[in-house]
């Protein structure tokens, strides 16, 4: 009996190993991709990385190469991806006419029920928002949300809510943002979660819920700090400054705005820094510190920033 | 009846007849000679042309071709349009020279010679003009017309000459002023010469003192030259060593350059083959990597290229 057990052990081990190997071989093989498409994907990847580093011209060149290669093999989905990426980069660069052209070209290639529709509509909404066409942007943002089949629903809802807020619909926006917050938490999209919180903070601020607004901004700040996103950190700090100012705590507000100014200045965001400086000057004047206000205004005069009226946070609600 | 007969009257009738015949023969010969002289017996044909005015033309006027008389003006008449018809009588033998493109013009033989009609030689490829055909007439300018034309051309030149003379005579003009200045200059030259003389006398005195100073400077220069000599002799001693060092350095460089050239000649042909081998090796490595990537369980760990990779579209941007 003992002998049989001893002989069976190596046999069983051998059988397990054979089964494991066969199981591995039985797995579905990766569908081969043509060399041209692989090259196009490589260019697209390089473009995404270049954009992340802030090298927008290089990113556009890479997307252009990717588009050319995808066109040479008539891979429509690849072309749409390259065009959406081009449009996004052009929008972030401030070249809205080119961004519109790219997104319209992508739209002309889009097939019915394509899984790329949501991303394309979302980008179109962002371009329209950048152009100040809020109503049209909202239409496309809603379409993007409806077409979304993956984890990005919370992101789409954030955009719709931000547009509603711009249109003066805070109640509807809050309802949507609460859904978006849950979806983003579920999808573990912390950056979008922070965006939802910041927008909620804005709504609570405008509706007088200063405690809740402060809590939202603090939570958003904590998440944004984890990702090290300077512009968003400055926006959160400005939000907290606005909460303090609304409460009549001008000194506290000055403290928050000082921190926001520090972040914007050191992050190289001169536009936001100038806008924060202007808010600070107003606060100092309200606080009776005329000297400091004038000093800040003098410094502001020295900074020649084209279109320097950009406040770190998109909404003017954060202003004291 | 006595019949007296004078011997001189014998054969009188015969003698008169012979005399008359001889006379007639002489007259005929004279007429023949005159006619021949005047080309009365040569065959002729007519040519005609029309002119605005008959001035200068006359009946019997000579017609010439290349300076030779070939005919004359037969008639001049006024036609129904009050223009003048001129008919030329040309010797037949010259017909071959007068073609369709031949022209006639009224010219003078010399400055004060007779007026003649000159006919030009026509193109041989064209047909000769036949009897009664029309000849083209080329109007030549008359002397008064030529004089008028000349006067018109000379008039502006004369005007300009007048202007130039006026400019030259203008007392406030550049020429007159320059002349005045030149006169003044020549007067001042004498004064300048006198001053130059006195200056030269003064300079003669100065030369002595300057030469004294110059000798002092020269003394100093001698000392400097002596020092330079010393430096040069030092340099002269060191120069051969420096030159030999430089020469050896150059030789070394030449050797290195030769070695490099040799190395380049040896290595360069190998470079393409090396590159090819490297490329092959890389491709081989790539193939091996692909094969390894495809092996389970590695394949499940490796993320394939993503086609749908987007630039992050943050809702806050």
Q: What is the pLDDT along chain B (317 residues), one digit of tens a residue?
A: 556 677 878 888 888 999 999 999 999 999 999 888 777 778 899 999 999 888 888 998 999 998 888 999 999 999 888 899 999 999 988 989 999 999 999 888 776 778 899 999 999 888 899 999 999 998 877 677 778 888 888 888 888 888 888 888 888 888 888 888 888 888 888 888 888 888 888 887 787 777 777 878 888 788 888 888 888 888 888 888 888 888 888 888 888 888 888 888 888 878 888 888 888 888 888 778 777 776 766 766 666 667 788 988 888 87
Instruction: Indicate the SS3 state at residue B151.
Output: helix
Are B310 and A81 an interchain contact pair (Cβ–Cβ within 8 Å)?
A: yes
pLDDT at A309: 46
The order of strands in the sheet holding B115-119 is B133-134, B44-51, B84-91, B68-78, B62-65, B115-119, B103-108, B136-138
Whether A123 has its CB under 8 Å from any CB of chain B: the answer is: yes
Return the pLDDT at A239.
94
Query: Chain B: which residues have CB within 8 Å of chain A?
Result: 294, 296-297, 299-300, 304-317
Q: ipTM beyond 0.85?
A: no
**DSSP letters of A224-273?**
HHHHT-HHHHHHHHHHHHHHHHHTT-HHHHHHHHHHHHHHHHHTT-HHHH
What is the reported pLDDT for A229?
82
Contacts of A267 (CB under 8 A, 6+ apart): A230, A231, A234
Pick the residue of B295, B307, B309 with the most A CBs within 10 A to test the interface with A by mutation.
B307
Q: A29-43, A148-162, A304-318 — which is least confidently predicted? A: A304-318
Helix (H) or strand (E) holding A128, with range, is helix A117-130
Report how far residue B63's alpha carbon sits from residue A281's, in angstroms, rounded to the nearest whole number. Answer: 119
Q: Is A78 on the interface with B (CB under 8 A)?
A: yes
Q: How confident is the model at residue A3 (pLDDT cuts 50, 70, 90)?
A: low
**Residues of chain B positioned with their CB less than 8 A from the CB of A44:** 307, 309
- Provide the pLDDT confidence category of residue A2 given band limits of 50, 70 and 90: very low
State the DSSP string of B159-181.
HHHHHHHHHHH-TTSHHHHHHHH
Q: Inspect the interface and report whether the beta carbons of A51 and B300 lie closer than 8 Å.
A: no
pLDDT confidence tier of residue A267, bands split at 50, 70 and 90: confident
* Pairwise CB contact (< 8 Å): A191 & B305: no
Separation between Cα atoms, residue B14 and residue B235, nearest integer Å: 149
Which residue in B has a C-alpha nearest to residue A70's C-alpha?
Answer: B307
Asked if B71 and B97 count as a contact pair (C-beta separation under 8 A), the reply is no
Cβ <8 Å between B311 and A85: yes
Cβ-based contacts of B317 with chain A (< 8 Å): 92, 126
Q: State how far residue B274 is from chain A, nearest Cα, in angstroms.
A: 25
Chain B residue with minimum CA distance to A163: B315
The verdict on a CB contact (< 8 Å) between B315 and A37 is no
With contacts defined as CB-CB under 8 Å, which chain A residues touch B301?
none
- Taking 3-state DSSP, the helix, strand and coil percentages for chain B, each rounded to the nearest 5, stand at 60, 15, 25
Q: Which of A24, A116, A192 sits opposite B315 (nearest CB)?
A: A192
Torsion angle of the four alpha carbons B225, B226, B231, B237, in this order, in degrees rounded to the nearest 10 = 120
Give the number of A-B residue pairs with CB atoms closer than 8 Å: 76
- CB–CB contact B313 A123 (8 Å): yes
- The pLDDT value given to residue B309: 86
Kindly state whether A195 is in contact with chain B, defined as any CB-CB distance less than 8 angstroms. yes
Q: Are B316 and A122 a contacting pair at CB < 8 A?
A: no
The domain limits of chain A are: 1-24+34-113, 229-320
For residue B306, the chain A residues in CB contact (below 8 A) are: 41, 45
Taking CB atoms and an 8 Å limit, are B310 and A89 in contact across chains?
no
Q: Residue B126: phi, psi to the nearest 5?
A: -95, 165
Question: In the predicted model, is pLDDT for residue A300 greater than 60?
Answer: yes
Q: Are B70 and B90 in contact (CB under 8 A)?
A: yes
Q: Which residue of B has its CA nearest to A235?
A: B316
Better-scored residue on pLDDT, A306 or B163: B163
Indicate which of B293, B294, B313 best probes the interface with A, i.e. most A CBs within 10 Å of its own CB: B313
Please say whether the beta carbons of A204 and A220 come within 8 A: no
pLDDT at position A117: 93
Q: Is A89 on the interface with B (CB under 8 A)?
A: yes
Residue with tokens 């001129």: B86
Query: Cβ of A195 and B299 within 8 Å?
Result: no
Same fold, A1-24+34-113 and A229-320: yes
> CB-based contact (8 Å) between A19 and chain B?
no
- Which CATH architecture group holds A1-24+34-113? Alpha Horseshoe (1.25)
Domain A229-320 class in CATH: mainly alpha
Shortest CA distance from B304: residue in chain A: A30
Kindly give the pairing relationship between strand B136-138 and strand B103-108: parallel
Chain-chain contact of A41 with B315 (C-beta, under 8 angstroms) = no
pLDDT in tens, A145-200: 999 988 899 999 999 999 999 999 999 999 999 999 999 999 999 999 999 999 99
**All residues at 6 or more sequence positions from B96 whose CB lies less than 8 Å from its CB, including other chains:** B128
Is the torsion defined by CA of A108, A109, A115, A116 positive or negative?
Answer: negative
Q: Is the pLDDT of residue A316 over 90?
A: no
């Amino acid at each position: 009996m003992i002998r049989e057990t001893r002989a069976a052990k190596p046999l069983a081990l051998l059988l397990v190993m054979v089964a494991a190997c066969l199981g591995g071989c039985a797995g579905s093989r990766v569908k081969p991709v043509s060399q041209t498409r692989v090259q196009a994907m490589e260019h697209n990847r390089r473009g995404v990385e270049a954009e992340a580093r802030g090298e927008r011209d290089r990113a556009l060149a890479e997307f252009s190469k990717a588009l050319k290669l995808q066109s040479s093999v008539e891979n429509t989905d690849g072309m749409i991806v390259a065009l959406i990426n081009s449009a996004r980069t052009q929008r972030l660069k401030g070249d809205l006419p080119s961004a519109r052209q790219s997104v319209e070209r992508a739209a002309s290639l889009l097939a019915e029920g394509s899984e790329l529709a949501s991303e394309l509509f979302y980008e179109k909404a962002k371009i329209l928002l950048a152009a100040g066409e809020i109503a049209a942007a909202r239409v496309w943002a809603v379409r993007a949300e409806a077409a979304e089949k993956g984890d990005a629903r919370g992101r789409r809802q954030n955009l719709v809510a931000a547009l509603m807020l711009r249109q003066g619909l805070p109640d509807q926006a809050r309802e949507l943002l609460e859904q978006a917050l849950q979806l983003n938490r579920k999808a573990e999209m912390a950056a979008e979660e922070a965006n939802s919180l910041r927008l909620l903070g804005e709504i609570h601020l405008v509706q007088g819920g200063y405690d809740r607004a402060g809590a939202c901004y603090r939570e958003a700040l904590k998440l944004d700090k984890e990702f090290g996103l300077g512009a968003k950190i400055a926006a959160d700090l400005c939000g907290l400054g606005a909460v303090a100012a609304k409460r009549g705590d001008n000194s506290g507000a000055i403290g928050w705005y000082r921190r926001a100014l520090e972040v914007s200045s050191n992050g190289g965001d001169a536009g936001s820094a100038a806008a924060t400086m202007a808010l600070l000057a107003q606060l100092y004047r309200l606080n009776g510190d005329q000297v400091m206000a004038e000093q800040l205004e003098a410094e502001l005069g020295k900074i020649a920033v084209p279109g320097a009226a950009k406040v770190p946070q998109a909404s003017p609600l954060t202003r004291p | 009846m006595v019949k007296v007969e004078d011997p001189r009257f014998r054969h009188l009738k015969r003698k008169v007849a012979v005399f008359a015949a001889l006379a007639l023969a002489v007259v005929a010969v004279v007429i023949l000679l005159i006619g021949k002289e005047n080309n009365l017996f040569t065959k002729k044909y007519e040519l005609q042309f029309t002119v605005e005015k008959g001035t200068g033309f006359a009946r019997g006027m000579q017609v010439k071709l290349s300076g030779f008389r070939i005919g004359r003006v037969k008639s001049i008449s006024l036609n129904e349009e009050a223009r003048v018809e001129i008919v030329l009588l040309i010797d037949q033998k010259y017909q071959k020279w007068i073609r369709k493109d031949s022209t006639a013009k009224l010219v003078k033989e010399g400055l004060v010679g007779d007026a003649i009609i000159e006919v030009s030689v026509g193109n041989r490829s064209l047909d000769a003009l036949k009897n009664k055909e029309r000849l083209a007439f080329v109007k030549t300018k008359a002397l008064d017309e030529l004089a008028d034309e000349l006067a018109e051309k000379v008039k502006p030149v004369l005007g300009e000459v007048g202007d130039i003379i006026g400019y030259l005579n203008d007392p406030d003009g550049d020429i007159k002023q320059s002349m005045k200045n030149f006169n003044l200059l020549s007067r001042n030259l004498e004064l300048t010469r006198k001053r130059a003389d006195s200056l030269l006398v003064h300079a003669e005195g100065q030369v002595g003192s300057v030469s004294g100073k110059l000798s002092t400077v020269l003394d100093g220069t001698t000392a400097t030259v002596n020092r330079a000599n010393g430096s040069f002799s030092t340099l002269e001693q060191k120069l051969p060593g420096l030159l030999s060092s430089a020469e050896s350095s150059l030789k070394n460089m030449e050797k290195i350059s030769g070695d490099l050239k040799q190395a380049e000649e040896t290595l360069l042909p190998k470079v393409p083959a090396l590159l090819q081998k490297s490329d092959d090796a890389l491709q081989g490595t790539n193939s091996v990597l692909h094969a390894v990537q495809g092996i389970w369980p590695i394949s499940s760990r490796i993320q394939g290229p993503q086609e749908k990779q987007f630039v992050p579209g943050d809702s806050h941007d």
